[in-house]
Structure formats: structure tokens, C-alpha cells
A and B are shown apart, each in its own frame.
Chain A
Amino acid sequence: MKMAIRFGKIKFIIQAIFITIFVSSCDLFEYQPYDTPNKEGLSDINNLNIAKISKNDNENDTIRFVFTGDTQRCYDETADFVKDVNKHSNIDFVIHGGDITDFGMSKEYIWMNDILHDLKVPYVVLIGNHDVVGQGKDIYKAYFGALNFDFTFRKTRFICLNTNALEFDYATPVPDFDFMTSFLKDTAGVKQTIVVMHSPPLDDQFNNNVGLMFNYIIERYKGLLFCLNAHRHILSEIDYYNNGIIYYGCDDIAGRNYLLFTVIGNKYSYQVVKF
């Protein structure tokens, strides 16, 4: 059975198609899931947020920050997390310990960043092993910035390290000792240090061959308080090298809880906040 459609109708359909194409513009044209579309506001996110953190820097010696990680495919839970953190009025910033994506695809980075963008406080995101897969590390660099970074807030230095050694070859040092040792002498205006990483030592993902050197440098950081890690999807408090340096591990976001740290002078405490 043949059905004839009047030309007017076709004309309307063609017009509709062209309008759809132009209105929706380039966002819809995807070349490959690991390709990074140029999106406004999606570059150097970590440094922009560090600038916001620095704006609130003052002589006060109390810091309250949230540590979470492994948000992966849990978009709804992350949105709930953002709502819960926004309820608190005295949080200075949020640290995401990595695995912001599950497959390392650019759309996942965009979706998750759109959710985190609703936080009232600044946030920084470390790179996790899932974020590296495919060309994920290039997407991370394009959107968030350097794989290793640091910032100092109220005389406490936060050193954020890429520890996903299994994902990289020898062309990229993981952990980057040049970066790590650069803080040993440069301690002006710094009273204490907190080290943040995605994968903790002794994990499959970590380069355990250099674990001793890694620990050697960390032991020498000025006023080291503790280390933070994500990746293991379990709340933990482990002294990996039996030297009194505690690594606090956060649960994944699917566990619906996060760590809220309070640092006052050289004392600190934390609580597990359920949401």
C-alpha cells in the first residue's frame, strides 16, 4: 500500500529538521565518546576553584573540608551529596579523591562536573584510575588541569597526587618524585601538610616498587597531619608503613556517606556524615 504525502508536509518536516539541527548546534555532534568537545567553563577547573579557595584564606587556623571519591556512575547519589554538603554553612571546600567517571568518557566528566558545580563551596578533583582509561587522562587534563597539584589554605598545604601507576607507562612518573620533593624545601608560609591521593599504597594500582621512597618523602613533609585516599570503596584508617602516618580512606558515594574533617591548629578530627 502506497501512501502519498503532500509536498507541504514534507517541506514542513525538512524545515523542522534544519531548525532542530541549528538550534541544538554542535553539542549533539559527537565524533567519539573519548573526544573532548570544547565547552565553555570546562577548562582548568581545579585552578579556578583553588583561586576561589585562596580568596577565603586568612589568619584563622580552622579548616573544615569534605573528602569524598569514587562517584563513578552514581549521579543521583552525587546530586544528593551536593545537596547535603550545601546544608552545612561552615565548610571551606570539597576534595573529590578521584574516579569522577566510570569509563573515562568525556560525557561522564561533563555530567559529573555539572552536578559538582552546584556545590556552594569550591571543589577540587583528583584523577582516579577509571578517569585515565582510553583517552580519559587527556580529558582530565583538558577539563581539570595537571595530574598533580597543590594548594595552601590557612597555612596548611594540600598535596594532591596522581598515584594510579598501573594506568601509566614509564613516560609519566607515577608517583612523580620531582613534584613530591619540590615541597621539601619550599615551606614558606606552610605550617602543616595533608597528602591526598586516589589509590593508597600496597594497592594493585599503586607502584609498590617505589613505596619506600614514596613513604620516605611523605615522612619529611613539614608538619604532616595525615594522608587521604579514595579508590578502595570502604571507610578505612590504615597506617600502611607502620610509622604513625594514618591514611584515611573514604567510602564510595554509593555508600551515601562522606568524611568531614576539621583541622584546628595542628589538631584534627573527622566525622563520617551519612546522607
Chain B
Amino acid sequence: MKKFCTLALFFILLFIYGNTKAESLHDRKLARMQRNWNNLIPKQSKVQFAGSMGMFSFGTGWYYGKKNQWETDLYLGFIPHLNGGEGHPTITIKETFTPFRLPVNDRLFFEPLTSSIYINKIFGQYFWSRLPEKYPDNYYFWAVNTRFNVSLGQAISFRLGDKLLGKDLSLFYEFNTNDLYVISAIGNKIIQLKDIVGLSLGIRCRLF
């Protein structure tokens, strides 16, 4: 009888232990899942003026990497009057790499080099991505609505530490060019770098 009681107790304990263990495993699974989904919550917002992606573009995105040197942003932009005509919306996906972030003082940082590649798409009647059926094959080789851009720029960041405004606020500028401008400049001495670059200005706000 004593032997049986000991055995029963052992099994009960094992059952309780097993249960708690299962619970903690479940908890951990849940926590991991929540963490993964939380990573999808955008961590920053951007507003950009010009840059071949619209007059104003509003972006939301993420920063990540060991030193937070990578950024991915999705923009929605608009051009109020294209050629004095109707307005057009644009979308942009942009990847930014910022190798250095130099502290100036406690609240101010300087990013001496920001580099980005971005793909911009404009919507409108005359902007197609695939050659319309009416044309003979390979009549035009480029997608009129899609531009591949590269840009280089600089930024200054202010640490806010303010729960109302967010973690930090940056001002940036960029010089950009696109695939068709580069193709046009290749083989022509008369077309120089200054002819194919544009300037854009922007504000970035990191919320947390």
C-alpha cells in the first residue's frame, strides 16, 4: 500500500510538472508569436518632398540590423498636376542603408552617408508596365510606369526621448537618379552627372 501511494504521488507530481511545463512551453510559443507579429508593426514614418516619387510621399517602415543600419519603407505619394493635367498617385518601396551614425552630443546625431535604392510606380492611363497589345513585340523595352532609382544623402537626427513625439526625429536630403537617366548618360559626354540628378528633402520620425 505504501508502495502504491508513493507511486501514485510520483505520477501526480509528474502530471502536475508536465502540465506546468506544457503551459510554459505554450506561453513561450505565444510570446514568440506575439514578438514576431509585433516586429511587423511599423516603427517609423517618413515624409519626402520630390525625388521622382511624387510631389509629397508619405512612408511607413521598419529599421533593423545590428546597428539599426537598414531601413525598409513603403511610400504612397502624389503629383497634384502632372503636366498641368490631372493628378497621379505613386507607390514606392525603398531600402536604405546607413553605415555610420555619429553622435554630436547627447541629443544630436549625424549620419554622414545614407544610400538607398527604390522602385517607384506611377498610376495613370498612359503609364503601363507591360507593353500594350497593340504594339509589335519588343517595340519599347522599358516599363513606362516603373522607375528604378538610386540615391545618396545625409541626415541629422535629434533624440527626443519624448513619449508624445517618439524616439527620434531626423531631417534628411538625398540626390537621386534613375535607370533611364543613367542609360541616357552612358555614351554621351555632353550629359553629365549634374544633368541626371535630382534633389529631395525629407523628415523621418522613429516612434519606438
Contact = CB atoms under 8 A, between A and B. Distances in A.
Given A21-B201, A105-B180, A30 B50 contact: yes
Nearest to B101: A2
B164 interface: no
Given A29-B50, A32-B79, A108-B184, A7 B104 contact: yes
Given A7-B104, A10-B108, A166-B134, A33 B178 contact: yes
Contacts of B184: 73, 75, 102-103, 107-108, 111
Contacts of B198: 28-30
Given A29-B199, A103-B142, A35 B82 contact: yes
Contacts of B142: 103
Interface range for B: 35 or more
A32 B173 CA distance: 17
B104 A138 contact: no
A2 B101 CA distance: 9
A17 interface: yes
A188 interface: no
Interface range for A: 35 or more
Given A30-B51, A102-B184, A135 B178 contact: no
Given A28-B199, A75-B191, A135-B124, 10 more contacts: A3-B102, A5-B104, A7-B104, A24-B199, A33-B52, A35-B83, A73-B184, A76-B189, A107-B196, A134-B144
11 contacts: A2-B102, A10-B156, A21-B173, A32-B82, A34-B127, A36-B84, A73-B187, A75-B184, A75-B188, A134-B127, A204-B136
Interface of A: 2-5, 7, 10, 13-14, 17, 21, 24, 28-36, 73-76, 79, 102-103, 105, 107-108, 111, 115, 133-135, 138-139, 142, 166, 204
